[in-house]
Amino acid sequence: MPTSVDLLVRHALIVTQDAQRHIIEDGALAVRGDRIVALGPTAEIDAAYIAARVIDAGGRALFPGLLNIHTHLFQAAVKGLGEDMPVEQWVQAVTFPTAAAMTPEEAYWLTLVSCLENLRSGATTVMDFMYGMRDPALHDAVIRALLDSGLRGRYTRTIVDAGADMGIPPTMLQPAEEALAHAQALQAQYSGAGDGRLDIGLAIGVIWAMTEAGLRAVRRVADATGMTITMHVNETPFDNVAAQRHWGRNTIPMLAATGVLGPDFIAVHCVHMTDEDIELFKQHRVAVAYNAVSNMYLGSGIAPIVQLAELGLPIGIATDGSGSNNCQDMLETLKFSALLQKVGRQDPACVLAQQALDWATRGGAQAMGLAEQVGMLAPGMKADFFLANPFTPKAIPVHDPVTTLVYSAGQANIETVVVAGRVLMEGGVFTHLDEVESLRQAQRAAQTLARRAGTEKLLERRGKWRPI
């Protein structure tokens, strides 16, 4: 007697990303609730399971959902504004004024479109790094959009207790204890929301926006609550300049001295690293978020990711916010993650396609501490996956599924997306919300926000594109 399940996907080429990197030709996958019950050859799964809903995936490849472990979802607000600037100038001219002027409703729609693009490019888990806005309604709005999108996610709340001299607006600055109390309130309210899809973490904006007491307080709360800590680290040489000015030591030694580093610490960027920095990361088993496109966009440099990976540190890849990438396309990021390392080392073999996919799946899951739930397909894991249909000129012809996904696939190939057992997109169409209406709302929000924040003046001598 076959066992009843909720969803069966049949006749797919399944790229499991399990420990042996098994690939199942003509494979099937059975889902009950939010978990994978079984996967194997279609004939075997067909004989053992029946389902109310069946997706016939002949000709498609099925991959575990990608993890985008660093983004600022609200930054769709600054997409297309203030490009081609160094990062310190860009945050002051564009990002801070926008963040300071944004209403909760604008934050909701702008976050939602960022989430939709993550889903369209195969990401099923995101780690959002939300700025330290004092207004709790802005945090609630971003969390609501993240939940409504259907994504799995970790919402991290930034602590910024210094840096007024660097242009950080007063609406985004508060004593660490106050910000940490708010993060704990968010954890109490939202951790486990969306049927367990959401959890809450802590974020440290950047070294030049923290006091020493603030750094120590973040570690204390992380230890007490189990929340992870993520932080922008050495994206540009300025981090070390500022740390030297304040404390007479570089950023990473300062983080080590204040107890911030640890296996629950996810360091973002890590472009400008000394041998001492790398040694400290190894000692503290720090995880790294690699943002290839953002690093290229801002001209930050090439992070020594191959070297960090060789030390056994968990590496995940990420888009960063749409302000310093101009999109949330995880497939583009997957490709550039491999390419940028090849350029840096002048060695085409230093990152293979399989390695890039590993960073986007297993590595990201390990970095976020979610390796028991996502990042590979196996019985008991969360049912987070997507189906790729290769029939576009960009992808065809295909031979090897991993090579195609990393180097030739685009959003047009992502046909079906399932998160926590829920089919969010089928045949390229979102089933749970009105995508076109969401895009209209986001466009409207971005226009009115740019006017209010004064960033519209950056467009003074250029034509404005108004699609609606």
Alpha carbon distance 369, 200 (integer Å): 13
Quickly count: other Cβ atoms within 10 Å of residue 69's Cβ: 33
Q: How far is CA 417 from CA 65, 385, 386, 411, in A?
A: 8, 6, 4, 12
Residue 268 CB, nearest distance to Zn ion (Å)?
A: 6
Beta carbon nearer to Zn ion, 15 or 293: 293
Residues between 52 and 71 with contacts to Zn ion, criterion CB under 5 A? none
Burial status of residue 462 (CB atoms within 10 A of its CB: 0-12, 13-18, 19 or more): exposed
For 173, counting Cβ atoms within 10 Å of its Cβ (0-12 exposed, 13-18 middle, 19+ buried), the class is middle
- Shortest Cβ 71–Zn ion spacing (Å): 7
Count of beta carbons in the 10 Å neighbourhood of residue 23:
16
Assess 239 for contact with Zn ion (CB under 5 A): no
Closest to Zn ion by CB, 84 vs 275, is 84
Of 323 and 401, which has the nearer Cβ to Zn ion? 323
Q: How far is the CB of 420 from Zn ion (least distance, A)?
A: 26
Quote the least distance from Cβ 393 to Zn ion, whole Å.
Answer: 33
Question: Of the ranges 1-9, 74-82, 149-157, 317-325, which one interacts with Zn ion (CB under 5 A)?
Answer: 317-325
CB 105 within 8 A of CB 145: no
Q: If binding means CB under 5 A, how many residues of this protein chain bind Zn ion?
A: 1
Q: Which residues contact 324 (CB under 8 A, 6 or more apart)?
A: 75, 87, 90, 294, 297, 298
Smallest distance from the beta carbon of 129 to Zn ion, in angstroms?
A: 6
Report the nearest approach of Zn ion to the CB of residue 325 (Å): 9
H/E element, 220 = helix 212-225
Classify residue 35 by burial, with Cβ atoms within 10 Å: 0-12, 13-18, 19+. Answer: middle
Instruction: Compare residues 324 and 355 and give the one whose CB is closer to Zn ion.
Output: 324
CB contact at 8 A, 312 and 363: no
CB of 178 to Zn ion, least distance (A): 23
* Choices 2-10, 22-30, 133-141, 318-326 (CB under 5 A): range interacting with Zn ion: 318-326
Question: Least separation, in Å, of the C-beta of 239 and Zn ion?
Answer: 13
* 161 is a site residue for Zn ion (CB under 5 A): no
x/- mask, Zn ion, residues 269-308, rule CB under 5 A, reads ----------------------------------------
Pick the closer one to Zn ion by CB: 60 or 272. Answer: 272
- 297-316 CB burial, b ≥16 within 10 A, e <16: bbebbebbbbebbeeebbbb
- Write out the E strands in 272-401: 287-290, 315-317, 385-388
Comparing CB distances to Zn ion, the nearer of 128 and 320 is: 320
**C-beta of 34 vs 239, nearer to Zn ion:** 239
Work out how close the CB of 158 gets to Zn ion at its nearest, in angstroms, rounded to a whole number.
Answer: 10
Among all chains, which residue has been given the structure tokens 């960027």?
Answer: 269
Is the CB of 106 or the CB of 320 nearer to Zn ion?
320
Span of 116-124, 137-145, 314-322, 452-460 interacting with Zn ion by CB under 5 A: 314-322
CB of 97 to Zn ion, least distance (A): 17
Q: Which is nearer to Zn ion, 49 or 131 (CB)?
A: 131
Which residues neighbour 124 within 8 Å (Cβ) at sequence distance 6 or greater? 65, 66, 67, 151, 152, 374, 384, 385, 386, 417, 418, 419
Residue 61 or 242 with smaller CB distance to Zn ion: 242
Using CB positions, name the residue nearest to Zn ion.
320
Query: In angstroms, what is the minimal distance from the CB of 321 to Zn ion?
Result: 6
The DSSP annotation for 55-114 comes to EE-TT-EEEEPEEEEEE-GGGGGGTTSS-S--HHHHIIIIIHHHHHH--HHHHHHHHHHH
Residue number, 143 or 204, with CB nearest to Zn ion: 204
Structure tokens at 323: 């302000």
Range in contact with Zn ion (rule: CB under 5 A) among 40-48, 176-184, 316-324, 371-379? 316-324
In the region spanning residues 319 to 348, those forming contacts with Zn ion, defined by CB under 5 A, are 320
Q: Provide DSSP, 265-303.
A: EEEEE--S--HHHHHHHHHHT-EEEE-HHHHHHTT----
Which residues of the shown chain bind Zn ion in the complex (CB under 5 A)?
Answer: 320
